Chain A
């Protein structure tokens, strides 16, 4: 059954959606309206340095992807013979180091905030998913260095993978296999999980403080002239 052509439909009115596409759009718009996706304000408690590390991880990922694209366009051995290539390789390395540093601080910050409260379990799980997939991605990157370090990591790393029975399909000494994992499969996985994580953060909002209560001053309208009252 389809809606009449030209009928104007509003996100708020589910009854007006008749197609799968329309219902999916309504579902998305109800859960992630524009003011949640791109907010101009945040709750007053979002006032700590701990909040910058999530953004730090995302921005580090941007530098990883940009430097990684340049490296992949020139091939895995380019950086051995080019000064520019070596610099881009260094940018790739250090943005990875910053990525993990900021992500781990973000992770433990969220742990101590018990940030999974209030229906945010999936947000935590996707964040952990991003962390774990990133570790595998970084491992494949170290295997792609095509130098002594990657040689040794391949030799040493095979034992854990073989003991788990996956060494043939994740063969650390097979450069072609690892290359595909590192530049296609795993980056897509990291990107997808991080994107889902960010969307969930925006959908659910930043978790309020532990022990926060309805009687707190910041939940009483007009009590704080420095802040603007939430309009939602």
Chain B
């Protein structure tokens, strides 16, 4: 407004001093409870209408049974990797195990290592051997595995993994003859156990009646291809903005758009420590936005770009 230039105090200071004390000027009638009631009715109608018309998605969960039934070759290959300690989980590092150089870090800053191994998982023991040992008639090959050396075990699982990769359709039935030790028998027994639905219960229960922890089953599923392939088909993976997507066409956590965005661009896409970089960047941005009132420059942008002229258009017209 042109008259503002004639005032003694700079415009910003005058405005701020006004903001510091109770408003002494004109007022308009305002009914808080009436606004609350109207808002309840309007938001209620919108919510109920959207719920009735669009509903909400509920894609059934994947079980070890459904995985073993739908993709037995992938299940056996994954079980072999768990047995040989070559799966993603086996080499993950804290909080599941202490695999060297597996953590995401920035220089010496390594919070993943600082946390330690809090949820220990030995993939061969926890995901394959222990479940098989709960069977009424555990496979006799368990003893062969137990009595073998680490080198022998690694040779068997490596050879069987290679053979599965070369077999037609990666089907264990088409694997060429070779020295795989007890690995085919163990993984086949686990496949049978999974197809019967027993593995889901055993992995979750951990010999207890009550259990709320699905960590081991979730990691086992994720080590295979079947589960991630389903997620890819549903546009849920990280490189598909999956963090903010939901199954079907329902909007998901769209407020995570910026978190998802960083996973789509360099240098984060190819950074081995992308998760840590993105987490720290989002923490920094969140702190900056929270402390905007205290940060010169950021707090001045609303004065430089006068969006407020639209918001208070009526006030400015009647100055």
Binding site for B on A (CB under 8 A): 38-48, 50, 52, 55-56, 58-60, 62-63, 79-80, 86-87, 89-95, 97-98, 100, 104, 109, 111-114, 116-121, 124-125, 128-129, 132, 135, 138-139, 142, 145-152, 154-157, 159-160, 162-169, 171, 173-177, 179, 205, 207-220, 223-224, 227-230, 232
Contact = CB atoms under 8 A, between A and B. Distances in A.
A138 B302 CA distance: 30
12 contacts: A42-B28, A50-B311, A59-B40, A91-B47, A147-B58, A152-B234, A156-B237, A173-B219, A205-B22, A214-B14, A214-B18, A230-B27
Given A50-B311, A98-B47, A210-B308, A155 B227 contact: yes
A165 B94 CA distance: 8
Contacts of A55: 35-36, 39
B209 interface: no
A171 B20 contact: no
Nearest to B263: A160
A62 B42 CA distance: 13
Nearest to B251: A97
Nearest to A127: B290
Does more than half of chain B's interface fall in helix, strand or loop, or is it mixed? helix
B299 interface: yes
Contacts of B16: 117-118
Contact of B27 (A109, A176, A215, A228): A228
Given A39-B32, A63-B44, A89 B56 contact: yes
A146 B25 CA distance: 55
Nearest to B95: A168
Contact of A48 (B227, B291, B311): B311
A211 B15 contact: yes
A120 B55 CA distance: 40
B319 A217 contact: yes
B108 interface: no
Contacts of A132: 286, 290
Contacts of A124: 290, 292-293
B208 to A, nearest CB: 12
Contacts of A230: 22-27
Interface string B179-198: 00000000000000000000
A118 B30 contact: no
List the 5 closest A-B pairs by CB distance, nearest first.
A118-B19, A176-B212, A165-B111, A168-B118, A116-B293
A98 B46 contact: yes
A128 to B, nearest CB: 4
Contacts of A135: 253, 255-256
Contacts of A227: 26-28
A139 B243 CA distance: 10
Interface in B254-278: 254-256, 273, 275-276, 278
B236 A138 contact: no
A154 B219 CA distance: 9
